Structure 1
Amino acid sequence: MSDYLAQKLSSLLKLVAPNSDPGCALQLLKPIENGYEMDKVTLMNLVKHPAVKNNPVVIISICGAKREGKSFLLSLLIKYLESNMQEAWLNEPDTPIPTHFSWKSGRKAHTQGIWLWSKPYLIQKSNGHKVAVILFDTEGAYSSTGKQNDSDIFAFSTLLSSVQIYNMKDEINEQKLESLAAFTSYTERAGTKTESGQIFQSLMLLVRDWTDDEFQCGVEGGRKYMEEELQNKKVTDEDLIAIRDKISKVFRQVECTLLPYPGAIVDNKDKRHRQNTTQVKVSDMSGDFKEHLRIFFHILLDECTEPKEVGGRIIKGDEILNLSTKLFNLLRTKEIFNVSLTLKVNTQIKY
């Protein structure tokens, strides 16, 4: 392990006031005919939680194509948080891999709409700042619901979150960059630009099942790979150059992590060993995958968790309901094309 990673993993990141609430996945946006409906009660109960109500909030959302392990990843992130982010977070090899957010192998999309984890996590980062972490799992893009719903899901989750994980398999390629840029263009119509032209906060490009030896797995290799892909001097097409330029400019922070293959049993390529996800054990994940996943989670929570801001001001937990309701109404009425999203914040949080 490099000195950089050793220093990061020795930071004082910790869970504040852990509690026995087991938590559960609840559907926030539910697909209906011609769109979605939002469960305001579910969100209201979450934002009024003592860990959230009067604290800066970090919403971590994950998006990307269907059937590429988004729910699987968030379930493991919950396990990491529940372990108080300890090195031995996967020290029970015979226990099943968690399914906090339901996941399964196969071709058909599993998650529909947007789901949230009912239990927030108040963490203290290595700089001493405390933030309430909320997790969103989103419907996979390119499913049977259509491009409009894909765009709405991305817009809602990106504008509401402070960290958007863009999950993809194997590599960053032109098709994936074009899709990300298209979703971003739709979403930025409702955003408010800063002086630098940025609208969104953090974007984490997460490349799964990485096998290319040119760049090592992890955040350091990911940064080098991302720089090469986003600043690819071999690209001469003006549209492709514009796509790369947009992604780099509209997000305040863009990071990239490369994760290795988790193993054939987890990926359901070795079907001799199981019939469903409840039979997948911690020991079925490769050791390399588990270690890189721990490093990724640690850096994600410690370095990418800036509190949610609107108009340059940090907003507290109970204002999230106001923000999400206004955003949802804009999307539902298609006023997102004509209105910039603003939120009056009466009290600025000292952070």
Structure 2
Amino acid sequence: MSFDFDLTAPFVPEFSTRDQMEHRHKVFPVQLIAANSNNPQAFRLNENALNAVLGHREIANKKIVIISVAGAFRKGKSFLLNFFLEYLYALQNAQQNDIKLEWLGDDTQLQGFHWRSGAKRDTVGIWLWGEPIMIEAANGEKYAVVLMDTQGTFDNSSTLKQCTTIFGLSTLLSSLQCYNVVDNIPEDALQHLTLFVEYGRLALKEAQDFGKPFQQLTFVVRDFKSPEEFPYSDGGSKFLEQVLQVTPDQPEELRVVREQLKECFDTLSCFLLPHPGYKVAEQGSFKGYVKDIRPLFREEAKRMTTALLNPQVLQPKLVNGKEITCKKMIDYIREFSRVFENNLLPEPRSILNANAQLMCVEAAMEAKTSYCRGMDRSTAGPRMMSEKKLLEAHIKHGITALNIFDKCPKIGDGEVRSANLARLQEDINAELEKYKRLNEDKRVTGCASALLACGDSIVFGLGLGGAASSAVVASVFTLQMGIVSAGIVAIPISLSALFGIWCYVTIRPLCCDDHKN
């Protein structure tokens, strides 16, 4: 999949964690998911953007943390992400230079993700910050932290399918999904979670060993107007508890969402934020300077950001219970983008099948690696193996490989598993042909080694070597000339000569040892 629209190339440096602060002003968001130009109702993946952010060799095996902000149209998601951006760069700088973390001073200018006031939609699709920010977690391990911005929902330009697609993808891809809403947590905000609750129920039923299918969901309630009842500082949890209460008069689908949210997400939380100040909302007047933000909003946003992103709480992205690296995340994004790329909303079963595909591919790779390692050990000797011994090794290590694949959890439709198993068997058979060729090559190198082994008797070695070479040449010549009977005689002569070499190399040292004794 690829994009067919113009997009200014991002700054892509040779990746280094030491100079990220120095070049951050050259980094921009890149569009990961956009509307298909031929069908605006469908979305497509930008492979170039994906590789630009996650394709660096230096981070291939680093675990990835994806922080996403999704939610209402034109309600400050990009603005909020710039707080996250400022905190992460300041945190990285403090860690690298062993200094006290200080951020969000009066002179700080928030910048990075494009935002603006007004009624026209600014963000279309899904965007990623142009580089991961390397943060040392509490366990001493460095994580690649990626920020994700999403299209606003329920504007005049977006259909329900588009909104659900963008919200769905960002929820599946993120380790922390911040759901940005205004004033309250409305019922339609919970309705957007229905697809993921259904997927979560399937995943919990068919893959119980992996734990909950989603990690963190945080509601960020902007312009909250009831701080007397629920204080900004610590009222978020109580407010969320009230919103998620189940009552008899609720429609069944909303009761189900409320009941299942805690089952599907590891962590549910809520933060309440005041209005940022009218200067921020005035079109064209706010340039991102912190001094122009309402002090109360500034302090609460700072407290929330620290609570969500500090090194003690950062969690890598988990897929099927395993922490994911940047390299594997590329495959994960590709697979789930395929589920959402057509005109129809994906069924929960389709999402589960995509997850099953990822597991089967990983299990097949592990199985093939095990087979190759076993065959490498079995064929490591310098001498050619008999065909029987080679096939015995193939069967032994092939069974081991199939047992590894069989341990892959059986989730999703059986066709997914069957197709990957058939592909694994084809790959193993192809590897067998490679080992047959390598084994056959040892027939030639073995003969050459035998000739070299005669070096302690130059005359005898040259004599046997010459006799063998002459016999082989003679056999080829006579066969080409059509003298079949002579060719048939010549072949045993060459084999006899080679047998003589083997006897000289193998038996002579034994005779010498007996003579010495």
TM-score, normalised via structure 1 length: 0.82
User: Which residue pairs with 1:300 in the alignment?
Assistant: 308
Alpha-carbon distance change, 191 to 203 in structure 1, aligned in 2, over 3 angstroms? same
How far does the alpha carbon of each residue in 1:207-245 deviate from its partner, in whole angstroms, 9 at most, with x for none?
Answer: 111231111113x32112111221255865544322211
What is the identity percentage for the equivalent residue pairs of Structure 1 and Structure 2?
Answer: 31
Segment drifting more, 20-29 vs 278-287: 278-287
Quickly say closer, same or farther: Cα 1:234–1:127, change in 2 above 3 A.
farther
1:107 corresponds to 2:119 = yes
What are the equivalent positions in structure 2 for 1:73-84 lying under 5 Å apart?
A: 73-84=80-91
Partner of 1:250: 264
The residue aligned with 1:69 is 76
**Structure 1 match to 2:133:** 121
State which structure, 1 or 2, has the greater radius of gyration over its C-alpha atoms. 2
**Secondary structure of 2:306's partner?**
helix
Query: Following superposition of structure 1 onto structure 2, how do residues 1-351 of structure 1 map, counting pairs within 5 Å?
Result: 17=18, 19=20, 20-22=22-24, 23-32=27-36, 33=39, 34-49=41-56, 52-84=59-91, 88-93=102-107, 96-98=109-111, 100-143=112-155, 144-178=157-191, 180-185=192-197, 188=200, 194-195=207-208, 198-212=212-226, 213-218=228-233, 220-231=234-245, 237-268=251-282, 275-276=283-284, 279-302=287-310, 304-333=313-342, 336-337=346-347, 338-339=349-350, 340=352, 341-342=354-355, 343-344=358-359, 345=362
Return the alpha-carbon distance in structure 2 between the equivalents of residues 278 and 141 of structure 1: 24
* Cα distance between partner residues in 2 of 1:332 and 1:175: 24
Q: In structure 2, do the counterparts of structure 1 residues 187 and 148 end up closer, same or farther at CA, with 3 Å as the change threshold?
A: farther
Letter in 2 for 1:318: K
Higher strand share: 1
Alpha-carbon distance between aligned partners in 2 of 1:336 and 1:238, rounded to the nearest angstrom:
21
Change over 3 Å in CA distance of 1:318–1:135 after alignment to 2: same
Runs of at least 5 residues in structure 2 that lack an aligned partner in the other structure: 1-16, 93-99, 367-517
From the superposition, tell whether residues 47 and 290 of structure 1 become closer, same or farther in structure 2 (CA, over 3 Å): same
More helix by percentage:
2
Find the aligned partners of 1:127 and 1:291 in 2 and give their Cα distance.
Answer: 28
**Per the alignment, in what secondary structure is the counterpart of residue 266 of structure 1?**
helix
Question: Deviations 1:307-329 (Å, cap 9, x if unpaired)?
Answer: 11111111211111111111111
Does structure 1 retain, via aligned residues, the 8 Å contact 2:70–2:167? Answer: yes
Give yes or no for contact 1:265–1:280 (8 Å, CA) kept in 2.
no
- Whether the 8 Å contact between 2:91 and 2:135 is mirrored in structure 1 is no
Aligned to 1:101, the other structure's residue is in SS state coil
**Larger RCO: 1 or 2 (CA < 8 Å, sep 6+):** 1
SS at match of 2:280: coil
C-alpha distance in 2, partners of 1:40/1:204? 29
Q: Distance in 2 between matches of 1:306 and 1:78?
A: 17
Query: 1:155, 1:187 within 8 Å by CA — same for their partners in 2?
Result: no
State the 1:198 CA deviation.
2.8
3-state DSSP class of the match of 1:299? helix
User: Over aligned residues, Cα RMSD in angstroms?
Assistant: 2.7
Superposition deviation, residue 128 in structure 1: 3.4
Report the CA distance between 1:138 and its aligned residue: 0.2
TM-score w.r.t. length of structure 2: 0.57
Letter in 2 for 1:124: E
How many residues were matched structurally? 322
